[in-house]
Amino acid sequence: MLMRWRLTPVPGQCMLHVREGCAKFGKKKCRYSSGWKMFDRYYERFERAVSLVLLLLMGVIVLAATAELIYLLYQDLLSPPGLFLGVSELFQVFGLFMMVLIAIELMSSIYMYLKDKVVHVEIIFLIGITAVTRKIVILDSKDIDPFYLMGLASLLAALTGGYYLIKKRTQEK
């Protein structure tokens, strides 16, 4: 089971009481809900429209990045040494490949948000871990500041620790 954060109210709940919940106070109808129903409806439509536009744009980005990856592989494999990729070409291909994977994960998180109206925190952590790993893979080892490497390592450790804690908490439930 994925850990979820609800950003929008459940049906019948007003926007002002998303955190507390109108039902906690024993009211059958919140006094704020009648004035906010139209706003809630327009906000949900706006949020859905923006999410759909983001999903479509991510689809275009995934297709463009995949086409670029295919073109790069085709070009590198047919270049003069033939069927052999050098170290720099491998790093470039791996970087593009991981970028496509990150874009697909972002696209799936937007889709799950559209479907469930919740943000899946585990997936966001996995996307962050994949992005930092991609950055580490494509680093040029010749001119790297040691503090930069320590920063990347601490960021990766923090993301991994956060992911572990969330998984541990969801397994306890």
pLDDT at 34: 56
pLDDT at 70: 92
The answer to whether the Cα torsion of 76, 80, 85, 88 is positive or negative is negative
Cα-based angle 123, 124, 127 (whole degrees, multiple of 5): 85
Amino acid at the residue 172: E
- Distance separating alpha carbons of residues 160 and 141, to the nearest angstrom: 23
Count: domains in the chain? 1
pLDDT at 20: 46
- Distance separating alpha carbons of residues 88 and 131, to the nearest angstrom: 19
**What range does the domain containing 167 cover?**
4-172
List the chain pLDDT tens, one digit each, 173 residues: 555 555 555 555 555 554 444 554 444 455 555 567 778 888 889 989 999 999 999 999 999 999 999 998 888 788 777 667 777 778 888 889 999 999 999 999 989 888 888 888 888 999 999 999 989 888 877 788 889 999 999 999 999 999 999 999 988 87
Quick one: how far is CA 19 from the chain centroid?
24
Contact yes or no for 83/28 (Cβ under 8 A): no
Q: Can you give the pTM of this predicted structure? A: 0.70
Length of the chain: 173
pLDDT at 107: 92
User: Could you tell me the two tokens for 101?
Assistant: 């994977």
